[in-house]
Amino acid sequence: EAGVTQFPSHSVIEKGQTVTLRCDPISGHDNLYWYRRVMGKEIKFLLHFVKESKQDESGMPNNRFLAERTGGTYSTLKVQPAELEDSGVYFCASSQERGRAEAFFGQGTRLTVV
Amino acid sequence: AQSVTQLGSHVSVSEGALVLLRCNYSSSVPPYLFWYVQYPNQGLQLLLKYTSAATLVKGINGFEAEFKKSETSFHLTKPSAHMSDAAEYFCAVSDRGSSNTGKLIFGQGTTLQVKP
């Protein structure tokens, strides 16, 4: 069974450009989460999907970030326009159920804004 | 609000020595607790989790952790370190309440170095 897959693994863009990160969760996992780790800081929650619906987007930094999950399958996280402080590693995770169930993480996308 | 504190951003041990990585949490009710590990160039992998069964939890690769409610701690241990244990370790909590969404609150991470 394939794990959580994230594309691209690395992205370097200039300030003001747009970047779209993609996450393919484990098949059958209704719950999908996005997290971000800024250098030197802890991993922080961004948002949570249940199927195609956003359940909790309390961690989204600002309206330059837009997440979607088409048809409850893969998810995209778009940053437009990117700023220097958006640099970091973006992780996606999926789980079958919330709470006690294990969340499976992707390898992350390292975003560098220059 | 929940929070997690990992004492020591870097821990160095000799191969064969005891590994002890500290984690304390703050929560109004005992949460679900997790330890994840990140090896270089890989994603986070679950080591073990506490979800209200036995307070001593055994995980993969010889790691274990003990939930101590009175100390609000969930320290990770391994009797004998291997070179392959060198990685970054994250303690995390998840709310077990009715509003639980499964989102994880992470500590700052502890990088474990294992010296030959």
- Summarised one tens digit per residue, pLDDT across range A82-92 is 999 999 999 99
Find which of B42, B94, B103, B108 to mutate to test the A interface (most A CBs within 10 Å of its CB).
Answer: B103
Which of chain A's residues have a Cβ under 8 Å away from the Cβ of B41? 107
Q: What is the dihedral of CA A35, A37, A38, A41, to 10 degrees?
A: 120
pLDDT for B98 beyond 70: no
**Residue position matching structure tokens 């996308």:** A109
Q: Which residues of A touch B (CB under 8 A)?
A: 3-4, 31, 33, 35, 41-45, 48, 55-56, 59, 91, 93, 95, 97-108
Other CB atoms within 10 A of residue B33 CB: 24
User: Which of B40, B38, B33, B78 lies closest to B54, judged by CA?
Assistant: B33
pLDDT for B99 beyond 80: no
pLDDT for B22 beyond 80: yes
Which of chain A's residues have a Cβ under 8 Å away from the Cβ of B101? 48, 55-56, 98
Q: How far is CA B12 from CA A8, B15, B38, B81, in A?
A: 33, 10, 16, 10
Strand partners for B110: B89
Which of chain A's residues have a Cβ under 8 Å away from the Cβ of B45? 105
Mean pLDDT of chain B: 92
**Residue position matching structure tokens 């506490």:** B50
Q: In the structure encoding, which two tokens stand for residue A68, read together?
A: 């979607």
Confirm if B7 and B109 have CB atoms less than 8 A apart.
no
- The confidence score (pLDDT) of residue A99 equals 64
